[in-house]
Structures are given as C-alpha cells and as structure tokens.
A and B are shown apart, each in its own frame.
Chain A
C-alpha cells in the first residue's frame, strides 16, 4: 500500500501554473511533474476562502452544512479521523491560523504542527515553506529510520502566496527585475491598498499581481525541495501525491482584491492533480470535479470506503466518477471582516453554466463560461436555462433552517 500525501497551497490561482496554460514560467518544477500526473482541468473549490473551502478538502462537507460556527463542528469527520481509525498514521504540517488547533482542526492527527507557537513578523506572518519542509523532513526521517513503517497520510500546506505579499528580492527579480520596491513599500501597499480593497489605480494592482507572482515562483522552489525530501528518504516512489489549492486570489477581475465572499473563477477555479511515480504519461480529466471529492479519494487510495458523512465522490478511478454539478457556499463579505449580519452566497455549476445567488440583495447571476470566461455578462434574465439552474441551486439555499 502506498502512502498518500496531500500538498495544498493557500491562495494559489489555477492560471499561474504552466500546466494550466500560463506562459510566464513561474512554476518550472511543478510543470515538470505533469508527465507523471492526472490533471483535473475543471476542478472547483466549494468556497472562495480558507474557512469555506477546507471543510471540503479535509472533511468532505460544505462550509455551512453545520451552521456558521467559527470552530470546526465536532459533527464533521476529518479525513485524518477516518484514516486513524483504520490504522493509518497521520501527520499535518501547516501555518494557517484558520486551520489551527484552536479552531478544532487538530483532530485525528498523530502529529499536528500548526506553528502557532512560533514568532512571526508582520511582513511574513507565517512559517515559510522551507520552515515547513524542515519540520516535515525531521519527522519523516525519524519515522522511516527503522526501515519498516506503517503507511501514512501526510498533509502539508504552504502559506507563502497569501498576502501581505512581501516576497524576497530574488523572487521579484525572477518575475520582473525592473521592479524597484523596498520591504516597507510592499508592506504599505498591503495596508493602504490591499486591505482597503482599493483598485482605483490599475498600475498598483498590476504591481500587486507581480508580487503575488514572485511568491508563486518561491512556492515552486518549496515544492521542489519537498519532492527532494521524499526522494532522499526513498518515499517518492511509495507515495501518491495530491496537489491542490484552497482557493485563488482576485486582482480586480470583479472590482476587488484578495479573496472575499465571491464565487467567480479567479477564486473558485483551483489546480488539482494527482502525481504517481509509476505513471508513464500525462493524463487529463476534463470532468467537472470539486475539492469536496478529495477525502473520499484519499480513503480510496488506502483501500478504504469513504466515511459515512463524506459528501464527495472518489476522483479515482476517474472513469467511474459520476457526472454531476459542483456546488459551493460562503459568507458574502467584502473586506477582511466577517460580520454576524453578513449573509450567505451560493453557486452551482453544471457543464459551462454557473449560477450564483446572493442572499443579501436577493440577486441571481448566471454566466456561460464557454462564451464568457471572465463572467462579466449576467444572462440570468436572458437564458432559457436559468429556471432549470435556479431549481438546482434552490434546495441548497438556507437548507439548515427548518421552516
């Protein structure tokens, strides 16, 4: 039986990866993996920010399924809990406060490192990828030292692409060496532009995107280092690696910055691929899939049935994956603060159609992604398919309220 590794990158847009068509050469190492990967071209996140998305990735359930509690509901089954019950060793390494022990994500892990005890600076408020990697290296080294070991599930999550976007000089140079900017100036952009969601100056938005891209280039180095660790410890050929993101990031595609409660492609489209050492060629799956399908896939790879309350389907073998629509939900907040009074927003996608409902203003939107990939032309009143799409989304709206 192979080990399973889930490698997630916070805030990683799909369109920055060469494997998904980017020509900027930001991810040379990740791109080089593609000939040993199954690549899912239409993977969707169930939510546009960490708290709305990770319930899918690690518990195969939707964000609002168990109400609006900030802490992970004890009713959800973490994939780590399901695996541990079956004797799989589980370990997690990350630096995202929303996924910390404090919020209840430490259940079911034999080793859980959330880095919350480490000191961090305002400019880089998380443990960088190389720090996470050394922690992983240390742990895997001592775990496999004896030679014989039980199969493990390892989850590693990098934060480096997340704002405040203060990348190292060498990565800025790799993206655009003509950019001259100090650490202070970058941090000021974060405070005065990004936090205020100020998109009034096109050039500044462009600069922020370049700083973001510099972090993407940086992430590629950490992924490379991570694969190096697995290889060094003789684990690469014994492991299946699932790589994905929790959501993307916005650079004024729909009038804002960062990742708030919106359901457009720049936030919802995510990269997703499965690396296997023995694979001989790149494979592509064009079916609409969702990150809620990841936990059942992990169970499948360990030869286990999905946990009873998992709502997704195993992505493998992908020939057997049922054709279905993708659903997502979040709280419709603009800016970085979620208020009690903020209301939910939902989307449903089927083939190339996406419908969005915002409860706060009772607004419906629908887009044809094939004809209008940027989602700028709302066809809710023009399309004859709108009623049918509405009908499919409606049962999911406020479904937890007993009327």
Chain B
C-alpha cells in the first residue's frame, strides 16, 4: 500500500471521527444507536465510532442488527465472532410476529389478519390492502415489516434520538447530495430521529483500503466474489472467486450482484399507486 493511500485513509478516518465527535456533542450515548449489518461499510462505521469511544472514554451506544429472516449464515457467524472480539453487546432485532406467522420460512404465505395490530396498522399505513403476502425480504410488505418497522419500534421503545448509519455518497445517484446529519420528520408510527452518516465521504475503494490498512475484520463472502451483501436470496457474487477488493470497483456497479428484477420493479409500481 502506497504512502499516498495511507495518507488518504488517515484523512478520511479523521474526517469521520470529526462527525462522530460532533454527534456526541449533540446527543447522549444512551440516546444513540449504531446499525450494523455485518457488511463492509457498517463494520467500518462501527470500527470508527468505537475508536472514538475508546479514545475519549465515551460509552459505546447500543449496537443493533436487524434479522430480516433471510440472512447469510456467514454474516451471522461474522457478527457473532466480531462482537465477541470487540466486546460488544449486540442486540438482534426482528419482527417476531411476522416470523411466527410464516414459521420463519421463506416463500410461505403470511395472512394479514394473523398479524398483530401494529403490523396490520403498518401495512395499512403504506397502502397495502391485500389479504396476504409472500414472506420474502424484498417484497413490498415484507421489506417494510421486516426492516423499517423493526427499526422504528426500536427507536420508539428506547427513546433513541440519533442513529449512526453507514451510507456512502458514491453508493447510488440519490445519495450524492446527502448530508452527514439528516433529521427524519416524525409522524404516525414514525418516530422522529436524526441519522448520522460518518463515512459518507468514503468510496468503495476507500473502504477496502482502510479495512486492509487497519486489519478491520470483514465477512468471508467478500473473499469469494461478493461486492455488496443484502438478503441471502437477493445477493450474488459479482465475479466468482475474485475478492471484492480485486474487482474493477471504479467501473462496475457495486450492487449489480443484488437481484433487482421483478420484486423490486413491482414494489416501485405499487408505491406509485399501480397494481
């Protein structure tokens, strides 16, 4: 690794630490949480935040991970190992009501009337009016109940005011103008909170350079060709057998290995008021 790359990494991390410091000036650690999927970005994000806490003797905010019911065993394993290594009390969140209704089995049908009141209200809120849905991570109803609702309920129950998230500007076009601190307006079933993105300025290449430079742990799936990790049934390696950091990061889309066919398109149509 060249000195130049090392210097850039140091600058990027310094900048991120500055954001984290600023966050701790605005919020108490008890009112904050760090989201961690086990992917390269959120692991980097957690590593940086944890560094700041160790250096300044600040209590590490709660660290949470959301189980959508379709996780790679490799990621689960990575989360367990790394949280032990870093001495983190990782909280595993899930929508257990939905998991119960589908017997935790992908592809099973969930009847809306079998769900609890809150989940039914959530479906109503997003305009889902059918009697049932198939349990899949990226389906319209599934995605909302398994991810958004779980996060919102956690925020509500724990009086969370701010969340550390691992968004990167270069991830997708829509993020280009994102800010480090974004306030999410509250509303019906939606608790108000602030989202903090300390690694917003990292590129995919920067992430790997920094991981290598500091020996930050990463999930083994990246070694066999995955570039971006989502739900198990939706993610595929981009180049089989080629480690992520050796792929053409600058000229191929990071999320190309994620399934983006029918379900994603249908989800969009539904949100636009069709179907």
Contact = CB atoms under 8 A, between A and B. Distances in A.
A337 B188 contact: no
Contact of B272 (A103, A115, A162): A162
B127 interface: yes
Interface in B87-133: 126-127
Contact of A336 (B144, B264, B265, B275): B275
Interface residues of B, number: 29
B268 interface: yes
Given A131-B174, A134-B173, A195 B127 contact: yes
Contacts of B274: 98, 336-337
Nearest to A100: B265
B177 A134 contact: yes
A120 B273 contact: no
A190 B264 CA distance: 21
Contacts of A38: none
A116 B264 contact: yes
Contact of A163 (B173, B256, B273, B275): B273
Interface string A91-105: 000000110101100
Interface string B168-208: 00001110110000000101101000000000000000000
A164 B273 contact: yes
A117 B255 contact: yes
Contacts of B173: 113, 115, 118, 127, 131-132, 134-135, 138
30 contacts: A97-B265, A98-B269, A102-B262, A102-B265, A103-B265, A113-B173, A115-B174, A116-B260, A116-B265, A116-B268, A117-B255, A118-B173, A118-B174, A120-B174, A120-B268, A125-B268, A125-B271, A130-B177, A134-B173, A134-B177, A138-B173, A164-B271, A164-B273, A183-B185, A183-B187, A184-B187, A190-B273, A194-B273, A337-B274, A337-B275
A124 to B, nearest CB: 9
A357 interface: no
A131 B127 contact: no
B273 A336 contact: yes
Contacts of B190: 184
Interface string B8-39: 00000000000000000000000000000000
Interface of A: 97-98, 100, 102-103, 113, 115-118, 120, 122, 125-128, 130-132, 134-135, 138, 162-164, 182-184, 190-191, 194-195, 258, 336-337
A128 B174 contact: yes
B126 A122 contact: yes
Contacts of B144: 122
Contacts of B262: 102
A11 B208 CA distance: 43
Nearest to A184: B187
A115 B171 CA distance: 12
Given A116-B260, A118-B174, A190-B273, 19 more contacts: A97-B272, A98-B274, A100-B268, A102-B264, A102-B265, A115-B173, A116-B268, A117-B260, A117-B264, A120-B268, A122-B127, A131-B177, A132-B173, A134-B177, A182-B185, A183-B187, A195-B127, A336-B273, A337-B274
Interface in B225-275: 253, 255-256, 258, 260-262, 264-266, 268-269, 271-275
Contacts of A138: 173
B257 to A, nearest CB: 10
Contacts of A120: 174, 268, 271
A376 to B, nearest CB: 27
Nearest to A169: B185
Nearest to A164: B273
A191 B172 contact: no
Interface in B111-170: 126-127, 144
A115 B253 CA distance: 12
B120 to A, nearest CB: 15
A403 to B, nearest CB: 33
Contacts of A163: 272-273
A278 B87 CA distance: 67
Of all A-B residue pairs in the complex, the 8 with the closest CB atoms, nearest first, are: A125-B271, A97-B268, A135-B173, A131-B174, A184-B187, A134-B176, A102-B265, A117-B260
A122 B128 CA distance: 11
B187 A182 contact: yes
A195 B262 CA distance: 23
A132 B271 CA distance: 19
A16 B127 CA distance: 29
Contact of A127 (B127, B174, B187): B174
Contacts of A126: 268, 272
A193 to B, nearest CB: 11
Contacts of B255: 117
Contacts of B261: 102
Centre residue among B173, B176, B177, B190 by max chain A CB count within 10 A? B173
B127 A97 contact: no
A308 to B, nearest CB: 30
A118 B258 CA distance: 11
Centre residue among A122, A162, A258 by max chain B CB count within 10 A? A122
B220 to A, nearest CB: 24
A118 B265 contact: no
B101 to A, nearest CB: 22
Contacts of B127: 122, 190-191, 195
B275 A118 contact: no
A184 B172 contact: no
A195 B273 contact: yes
Contacts of A258: 273
A138 B255 CA distance: 18
Contacts of B265: 97, 100, 102-103, 116
